[in-house]
A and B are shown apart, each in its own frame.
Chain A
């Protein structure tokens, strides 16, 4: 110990190791990779620009057709949005049911998930389009089994508030949204359940100890934290849903992006440019969705991780 101090003191200051100026590790592989990728990229650009089969002017003309834009807005965007609303809302509800103490609710949620995850979406949409055959007298809202009760009591007439034409429900975009939404709810239920289970038990206990009702505990404390886990896979699901709207043709719905493009393609015998046009649409929307997902993740990630949160929140700003 003593000798150590002595030797150190004996050394002149200039002999003690100073700033490190080392030769960094060389990465020759990176330069090779850059060269290879540069060549491949050049080939791709060359292909895109010079290959006549792309027929870019036709691609953009097809993309600009009013029935295509209409199909894109209604059949693709609107159906994606509505189906995801049904899916996320239904999924969270199913997850809460599945995790509840009530065995009946938990069982119903399990059965729903089992059924709708088992049926391929294309077949589900096809079935939705034909479901009207089950309800040839229409779908009535009122007292269940009213005709039996009326028969027993010896009355006449009916106890129905209003009747919808089943063939109007199970057709077109409505059938599409019902089919895609229910199917999505089954998948979202599992995502939401994983999110809820990811929240530390101490969180619910702390909220309960403050006297919060179980509904408030879920809405104010558990779900906002579960969203951190729920949002990224939900972004995935939304993007998948966007593309699954091209299955609407099974209902059948023709007011949808890909069907409209295809019909232009078959009219002019141009299939490849049509595929390019469709890809460009889907690429564009997916890009926008990914930006949206970034902001959602940032919102629900507040208070977690190292990133500094927005400096000052406006007075009175609540939680979720």
Chain B
């Protein structure tokens, strides 16, 4: 174990983009994550499934340091997240260094969290201009292209409050993409949407997957997971119960908890 851990500290550049080992996290003595392991290869799409409270969202937030982990390690692109490992002793990174690590990771939230005082295009330009120091002209051109890509090229000057939920979420995806991230995290991107708006957002995410973006998606959309994911991970009560190809996990679950969850989900869909 120690030898393996030592080997992991000096990670060579591999196909593996995200490498999480034994991640634990507690909120006020309530252990939400009880030793999560997860590997995501470049270009892979991983869907995290599970009942609410299973720790999916918390784990996602740990990857880009919105939550600090209590134990375990998370590497993204070979870099240990949140800490500097000097000969086995961990030193907490400064806020600035953590901010730099986050630039490589895009995140899309359940509640969109667009900046309401900025127009759609200003939302997309904000990080490139303020964080990367990109020129306004150049950034505006790129932002326009990104909004075109998510089908909102004609709504650039609209404020978030003037957009539908589906449109807001698509702007939020464009905003995350503007930083040219290596990894995209989606936290239940369609859970706050009216049913008829879910499709347009999933279509954008699906397109991203086809273009080879590495993504971790927390979702309750089973058909999306089945079609798009390379791996689905079923979590419950802070542990990974089962992981594998979608056809195997969703079609032929091996664990009782997965079966119960899927049955309940199906019965909800069959009898709305």
Q: Hey, which bits of chain A sit against chain B, CB under 8 A?
A: 200, 202-203, 205-214, 216, 220-221, 224-225, 300, 302-305, 309, 312-313, 315-316, 318-320
Which residues in B have their C-beta under 8 angstroms from that of A207?
A: 115
Report the bound CA distance from A202 to B168 in whole Å: 14
Report the bound CA distance from A224 to B179 in whole Å: 22
Cβ-defined partner of A211 (8 Å) among B111, B127, B159: B127
* Chain A interface main SS type: loop
**Contact call A202/B109, Cβ cutoff below 8 A:** yes
Cβ-defined partner of A225 (8 Å) among B64, B99, B117, B127: B117
Given contacts A220-B130, A316-B136, A316-B140, contact A225 B103 (CB under 8 A): no
Which residues in A have their C-beta under 8 angstroms from that of B130?
A: 212, 216, 220
**Contact call A213/B140, Cβ cutoff below 8 A:** no
Report the bound CA distance from A319 to B109 in whole Å: 22
**Contact call A214/B102, Cβ cutoff below 8 A:** no
**Contact call B118/A208, Cβ cutoff below 8 A:** no
Q: Which of A211, A224, A318 has the most CB of B within 10 A?
A: A211
Q: Which of B100, B105, B159, B175 has the most CB of A within 10 A?
A: B159
**Contact call A210/B115, Cβ cutoff below 8 A:** no
- Least CB distance from A65 to B in Å reads 46
Report the tally of A-B residue pairs with Cβ distances under 8 A. Answer: 90
Which residues in A have their C-beta under 8 angstroms from that of B102?
A: 208-211
Q: How large is the interface on B (under 10, 10 to 19, 20 to 34, 35 or more residues)?
A: 35 or more
- Least CB distance from B155 to A in Å reads 13
**Contact call B127/A213, Cβ cutoff below 8 A:** no
- Least CB distance from B82 to A in Å reads 13
- Least CB distance from A143 to B in Å reads 30
Which residues in A have their C-beta under 8 angstroms from that of B103?
A: 210-211
- Least CB distance from B116 to A in Å reads 5
- Least CB distance from A213 to B in Å reads 5
Which residues in B have their C-beta under 8 angstroms from that of A302?
A: 117, 159
Cβ-defined partner of A205 (8 Å) among B66, B119, B131: B66
Interface contacts beyond A203-B113, A209-B176, A303-B116: sample of 6 additional A-B pairs, CB < 8 Å, sorted by A? A209-B64, A209-B102, A225-B115, A225-B117, A304-B117, A309-B159
Chain A, residue nearest B129 (CB): A318
**Contact call B99/A211, Cβ cutoff below 8 A:** yes
Cβ-defined partner of B109 (8 Å) among A205, A225, A309: A205
**Contact call B111/A202, Cβ cutoff below 8 A:** yes
**Contact call A208/B117, Cβ cutoff below 8 A:** no
Q: Mark B114-144, 1 if CB is under 8 A from A, else 0.
A: 1111110010001101110000110010000
